[in-house]
Structure 1
Amino acid sequence: MRILCFAIAWPIAALAQQSVQFGTFTACSVCHSNLDVPSGVTDFVNGIPDLRARAQSVPQRVAAGPGALWPASMMAHSSRDPYWRAKVRFESAANPSFGAVVEDTCLRCHAPVQQYLLRGSETPMRLDHLNPNGQEGVNCTVCHQVTTEGLGSASSFEGGFTIGPDRRIFGPHANPFAQPMVASSGFTPAFGDHVRESALCATCHTVITPILTAEGVAAGEFLEQSPYLEWLASDAAVRGQSCQSCHMPVFKDTSGVEATQHIAHRPNVAAAFPQTSPRKPFGLHSLVGGNYQMSGMLAELIPVEAALLDAQRGRVRENLRGAARLHSTARRDGSALSVAVTVANLTGHKLPTGFPSRRIWLNFTVLNHGGETVFESGRWDTRNIRIAGGNASEPHHTRITSQEQTMIYETEMEDVAGDVTSSILRAARFRKDNRILPAGFDVSRVRIDGIHASNLLPAGTAGDLDFLPGSDTVEYVFAAPEGNGPYRIRVELLYQMTHSGHLAGMDRDRSADEQVFLDLFERHAAPVPMARREFLVE
């Protein structure tokens, strides 16, 4: 986060220019909302659980184009995300001298359609300044207008992307038929394969914040979130598997073969433009991540979008289920059983990644032959909205022998004095970062001027010899007299986007945004399962 001094003033003239620099989602969706069922395909899913269709002799249109999927994504809700809004209010209140900087910097990526024109001026954008332009979130004309300038460099991070002045809309297809877009929107389609590169995503998903002392003095920088840098250090980058490969999968038929598709359709007509032909790749703009709970919160906040968000929730759940795999081995040692559980990371970044509040943990349950629970670690306590029996601060474990211990993969921040903090601006380092590394993790691959790759290394895992790139193993040891078997072992990996420890300091009486989120959290805090194993041991 660049530390700047601003004078508070709102430039009304800038608002009038918004429609010149950017377009609206509505204008794009007229021609980019539908797909045709490929010829000869009788049934297809394309990685979208709620999308099924039958091909007929007449081309059938399916609402699965960018304009049909993007509205349910977090990109569409970036400025309306209730957790983000509450967190911004908290940080601004906790660090009032930096409030304007915090809000303006966050709005670079959460409301770029409105904030971009203020860059280089002495006027910060505040959260209260949001207008309908800003509420568009990260729309089509943001990502598709980003040029290659600086991509992959430190200057591009924290929303440091560059929008070209000539209203060119970049896509992965050469020589697109331009006339319809030019006539209807004033934008010109152009070839730009950089829209398929991870460096484009990195502009908003690499965040570096100032470290503030108790006196509010800047004392360095903190790498707050770094999925792109984690990816650079992984085998996924070596294989050329970009962020888009997983989060915007290409259109495929039921056999798994990439299918061609028209990139645009005539408005309100079940046909493509006659001057065009089907092309590939065709990326599905579902933009799935791990925000399962947030989709539920948004559906409650915006009832008119509930159906879209419920469908997105299903896609997110499927995405999470493909992010990890569980393995286990068991052995008997007299009257005790020992079960080793391995969590394998199938993603190209740490698991979990992104904002520091994300966490995953193991719920390990043992039942005797009568179905009675004789040991359980990591049970979710619905009444108290917490992990049952756990501690406020849970260390990394190699061996669990008590139901009071839980294997949690997460980050824990501390300030310059070494005290635990939930404030992003007070965070100086991670005292704990045992998030599961991606396969092949090697920080020497991260060579970017101004970025210290050592900041990507785990913390709090010293001495754990099986905490390795791609997986981690934890051993559970518990009493299990032979006469009470066979024992049924259930292991579940659970994901949660945030938890009560990260909400410390939020005040429902201070702002409406904090009140709204804290109320929503009570109803949507429950974790979502990512992986599960169940087996018997004598």
Structure 2
Amino acid sequence: MKRLDLKLSLLLILAFILLSWITRTGSMYYVPTTLDDFFMPGSQPLESGTFNSSDQCANCHGDYDMAVEPSYNYKGSMMSHSMHDPLFEASLTIANQDALFSGDLCIRCHTPSGWLEGRSTPTDGSALTSNDREGIQCHFCHKLVDPLSTRSEDLAYINTLPAEHIPTQYGNGMYVVDSDDLTRRGPYDDANANHPTLYSPFHSSSELCATCHDVSNPAFSKAPDGSYQPNATGMPAPSFDKYELFPVERTYSEWKMSAYNTPEGIPSDVFGGTKANVSTCIDCHMAQTTGKGCNKQFAPTRNNLAIHDLTGGNTFVPLLIKDKFFGVVDANAIDAGILRAQYMLQHAATLNLNVVAAVNGYDVEVEVINETGHKLPSGYPEGRRMWINVEAYDIADNLVYESGAYDEATGELNQNGTKIYESKLGLSEDVAALANLNGTGVYTAGESFHFALNNVVVKDNRIPPRGFTNSNFEAVQAAPVGYSYPDGAYSDITSYTVPETTYRIEVKLLYQTASKEYIEFLRDQNVTDTKGQELYDLWIAHGKSKPEVMQEAEFYTSALSLANDQTMDKAIRLYPNPANHTVNVLFNFTTGKKIKLDLYSTNGIKLRSVIDNKTVMANDKIQFETSNLPGGIYILKFQVNQKVTSKLLVIK
């Protein structure tokens, strides 16, 4: 009985807090939170001096080698346009609309110079200058101090801060920024520049990236039952431990709990540039190269120069930025950044395809392997998703099966039976019900795009990285939700059955920056300004966030029956087989025929095109190299006019 009374009392207290937490004025609905509700330790406004425009840094760090120079590559990154981003601006409006002053937390990381110089209020960003809208500036990053450092050079500034302002962990925008406007901190201990420099190991660590890539909502704290409940308003959170607050993004923590977070790292020939192994965030997102860091003659040529491209997977929003800020931004740099982002996406996963004949068709297994140091995909969850598209065609090239169909004309994804990798947040029943007591009827329990009010992880089936364990990921609030992965998993397999009339199977792994549902939410829920409509118009004008093809594979069911056309099969001779370095193909045709010849692995992955619609005559012979292929069995698929046959090739 006492336990029941205690539970009832706690519910009444929660109801009282929430009732006092919600109000409505005019057409704008919001929780009457204050700036104090979003306070986080670290340097505070007007404590860190002033910040130069990145154009000033370009005087020495640009205009000499676009392939390696910091300025040009930075100008093509989303970091340099984090306050030009129309999607972020539309999201910022909704956040402020849902919880008053919540935009301060967003601005804190999207334009730290504007925040530190005291222009984050009003929290809609209306007080920001053109300099602030450059986003995460060079000067900000190179004034950063390791907040947990014990080095005397860092403590000289850290000890000037009030004790309650000194962070005890990395993340949540809890940055410490030196008030010295002249000295630049960086990863080299031999820098010789026209300005004072200070060696900082923090600038080559993943902990620097954690600053804004491990995000929690300080308006919610973890309750004893594991749920996240709203704090009393008008005061900071009772704890600044990010793992005690509601998790919004855990990219750094995902890396921290991965096998990449080791001294040796993971071998990679696609990320890291001149490095053989990748370990830190910087290794992949600022790959090493050879070159000079500035345009001065005395500057050394380094073999470990980090390219300041800061590349992620966003290929869509840069198109909107070029349009909205035409003449203000460097369009060529942005285009180069889009190409880099496409490269990142195309190498972030490996796709394996296994097809076997079944009673009523073919069983298809699609394996997606995560080749990154965090979940795939990772980052801010709203509208960001990756999915598998499977298409099956008959011999006449008619589509007979599809999963994961996407309509580019409407921007709609058919989600019925589609494997979608994503994270979805939402509202609990009690928070949604009490929020609606203000009469708006806006809030619904379950999945929600109301970022500032979400207090539940509804779904998270994103593929974990190498080194994953359930206990470690649960400890950092990054465990799978509504899905399961065994310890050690860094891939996922999805099974399909396609009809027996299937001749060709195409599989694509697709990535989308922003879903139609999210874009329409930002438009339809906005009762404050026109930013949601402006975003929607840009979305329409630039392809509705057309999905990027990360990986694709093709399989011909004729490979399961190599003798499907004995006449044609006998007209093609393959030798030597097994082969070591070279394979000869002899065509015994009576007349010229157009040939297409492709090389596949036994699991249906196309490796290369050997002949592409070339006409061969009687007794013609072609030769191709196999020395670069590992030993094993391969499939050579021949298409002669409308007929197809396959031959097995063995490499010693």
- TM class, shorter-chain normalised? 0.7 to 0.9
Q: Would you say 1:368 and 2:394 are equivalent positions?
A: yes
Backbone CA RMSD of aligned residues: 2.8
TM-aligned CA distance change 1:218 to 1:421, over 3 Å: farther
Query: Structure 2: which amino acid aligns with 1:516?
Result: E
1:346 equivalent in alignment to 2:371? yes
Which residue identity does 2:205 align to in structure 1? Answer: E
Distance in 2, Cα, partners of 1:173 & 1:379: 49
Q: Which amino acid aligns with 2:131?
A: N
- Who wins on radius of gyration, i.e. which is larger? 2
Question: Within 2, Cα distance between the matches of 1:458 and 1:515?
Answer: 34
TM alignment of 1:85-484, pairs within 5 A: 85-93=89-97, 95=98, 98-100=99-101, 102-118=102-118, 125-150=123-148, 155-167=169-181, 168-178=183-193, 180-181=194-195, 188-210=196-218, 217-218=230-231, 221-238=245-262, 239-240=264-265, 241-251=279-289, 259=290, 261-266=291-296, 272-273=297-298, 276-304=299-327, 305-357=330-382, 358-388=384-414, 390=415, 404-417=416-429, 418-442=445-469, 453=475, 455-462=477-484, 469-480=489-500, 484=501
Change (3 A) 1:159 1:124: farther
- 3-state secondary structure, aligned to 2:493: strand
SS of residue matched to 1:491: strand
What is the distance in 1 between the residues matched to 2:35 and 2:78? 30
Equivalent residue, structure 2, for 1:399: none
Distance 1:155 1:125, change over 3 A: farther
Structure 2 residue runs of 5 or longer lacking an equivalent are 1-32, 38-43, 150-165, 222-228, 233-243, 266-278, 430-444, 559-652
Q: Indicate the residue corresponding to 2:510 in structure 1.
A: 494
What residue ranges of structure 1 are gaps of 5+ in the alignment?
8-13, 36-60, 182-187, 252-258, 267-271, 391-403, 447-451
Larger relative contact order (CA 8 Å, sep ≥ 6): 1
- SS of the equivalent of 2:197 reads strand
**What residue number does 1:39 align with?**
none
CA deviations on 1:190-246 (whole Å, 9 max, x unpaired) are: 211211111001101111014679xx9548832000100000111111244111111
Give the length in aligned residue pairs: 449
Partner of 2:8: none
Measured against aligned partners, the alpha-carbon deviations of 1:508-527 in whole angstroms (never above 9, x if no partner) come to 66422211111122233211
Evaluate the alpha carbon distance shift between residue 279 and residue 443 of structure 1 in structure 2; reply closer, same or farther with a 3 A threshold: farther
SS in structure 2 at match of 1:526? coil
* 8 A Cα contact 2:370 2:491, kept in partner: yes
In structure 1, the residue corresponding to 2:61 is in which secondary structure? coil
In the alignment, the residues of structure 2 paired with residue 379 and residue 231 of structure 1 have an alpha-carbon distance, to the nearest angstrom, of 32
How far apart are residue 262 of structure 1 and its match?
A: 2.8
Please say if residues 214 and 250 of structure 2, whose CA atoms lie closer than 8 Å, have aligned partners that are also in contact: yes
Percent of residue pairs identical: 29
Q: Letter of the 1:473 partner, please give it.
A: I
Distance 1:426 1:125, change over 3 A: closer
Matches of 1:110 and 1:460, distance apart in 2:
31
Is the contact made by 1:415 and 1:426 (CA closer than 8 Å) also made in structure 2? yes
Contact 2:184-2:198 at 8 Å conserved across structures: yes
Deviation at 1:136? 2.1
TM-score, normalised by the number of residues in structure 1: 0.77
Is the 8 Å Cα contact of residues 211 and 428 (structure 1) preserved in structure 2?
no
